[in-house]
Amino acid sequence: MAGKIDRAKYGMCLGTSVVVNLLLIVYLVVGEKWKLSWSIRAAEEAEDVAAQPCSGHGRAYLDGLVVDGKPVCECNTCFGGPDCSQFSPACSADVDSGNPLFLEPYWMQHAAKGAVVVAGWHRMSYTFNGHSIISEELEKHIIKLHERVGNAKDPYKSQTNFFRSMDYKFVGDTSMWKNTSDVNMNMIEFVTSPNNPDGQLKKAVLRGSSVKTIHDYAYYWPHFTAIPAPADEDLMLFTLSKLTGHAGSRFGWALIKDEEVYERMLKYTDQISIGVSHDTQLIALQLLKAIFQGNNGSDIFEFGFTTMRKRWEILSKALSESNRFSIQKIEPQFCTFYQQLRGPSPAYAWLKCERDEEEDCYEVLRENGIIGRRGSVYGAERRYVRLSLIKTQDDFDLLMLRFNSLLSQENYYGIETLM
């Protein structure tokens, strides 16, 4: 009898201890996950899509096609197959668009920081807090980022307005208007600095009371250029596209000194479409928060600069011996963000075909498997072509593959000429 009770006691004791220990382990391991409820379905779905193996040459998206219950990989250019592992050897390097995919790996590496759960009832109203079309928290983070990077002066004194980002197209060089005598003509000068396509820092050319200047600072971030001093202009445009790489979010903002201009712009964005999508504003906010969580905003620029600098060095080195092609020279400059002299890391190579007979540079490249953007788009001669260096690593690698083959032809051509 005593043995039985003992056994029972002992068993219960051991059992209880195991139970308590297990509960503790479960609490420690599962911990917070335990508490989730309505967001689990969405979280699982997103993680499932993200886990699709696309061989590092593509990725599946939450709103992509689903075949046989599996999200379909969307492959980088020149890659194919269900898992994007098949490379098409004859495929051209497409370096036409300014698609800023060089930052995609950054966000994949910092998945937890960049993610947002959007609730079904998120800010359904037309306005924030019943009046504004602008998220106050997002505005704060934008100002904080400018302060951190030092690329725009005193944003606290400026007004911020959000707009749907657009890519301005070159319509004619203002330098030709510099000495115009028609002082009565009202003009708006667009200054893009660093300049697209050549990456040079620019100042306004036109002056006077009849001239208004809009500064496009889309590329004025440490990824692409030294920051010699904070910009301090009347109307400064920025876009998420070239800062975080989210071109698809179509989000931009303007820092505006003149209160009247600000009020008019705000009225315009309000009237045209009652502001920018609240979902987009929420996601932009999370991306900026994530930037600050990465070593107080250093990480993303370190990643961006290192990537762009390396690409520029590889391309420069390959072309250094060439007499057939040349690219722009950008002088090293002191960068206040890095507090040191830094070499160039531009978004685009501005390539020139040097041979007399190769006037149509775009065609020369195209025939050799490189698709650039015609210089004429930027008002330049046909000898010039813009090559985008900000796309995926695959795009850049393929560009170099095609270039190296082109340059080896050049050596052969040189030998042939000598003979």
CB of 307 vs a copy of itself, minimal distance in Å: 14
Greatest CA span in the chain, whole angstroms? 117
Closest CA to 386 of 197, 154, 130: 197
Q: Which is nearer to a copy of itself, 302 or 410 (CB)?
A: 302
| Dihedral pair phi/psi, residue 59, rounded to 5° | -160, 155
Q: Which is nearer to a copy of itself, 120 or 208 (CB)?
A: 120
Q: Which is nearer to a copy of itself, 155 or 245 (CB)?
A: 245
Q: Which is nearer to a copy of itself, 133 or 349 (CB)?
A: 133
Query: What tokens appear for 155 in the block?
Result: 């944003």
195, amino acid identity: N
CB of 419 vs a copy of itself, minimal distance in Å: 44
**Locus of tokens 């920051």:** 227
List beta partners, residue 215. Answer: 191, 236
Q: Which is nearer to a copy of itself, 245 or 344 (CB)?
A: 245
List beta partners, residue 239. Answer: 252
CB of 80 vs a copy of itself, minimal distance in Å: 12
Q: Which is nearer to a copy of itself, 229 or 274 (CB)?
A: 274
118, amino acid identity: V
CB of 375 vs a copy of itself, minimal distance in Å: 21
Q: Bin 239: left if φ > 0, else alpha if -120 < ψ < 50, else beta.
A: beta
CB of 63 vs a copy of itself, minimal distance in Å: 5
Q: Is 201 helix (H, G, I), strand (E, B) or coil?
A: coil
- 3-state SS, 138-197, equals HHHHHHHHHHHHCCECCHHHCEEEEEECCCCCCCCCHHHHCCCCCCCCCEEEEEECCCCC
CB of 356 vs a copy of itself, minimal distance in Å: 36
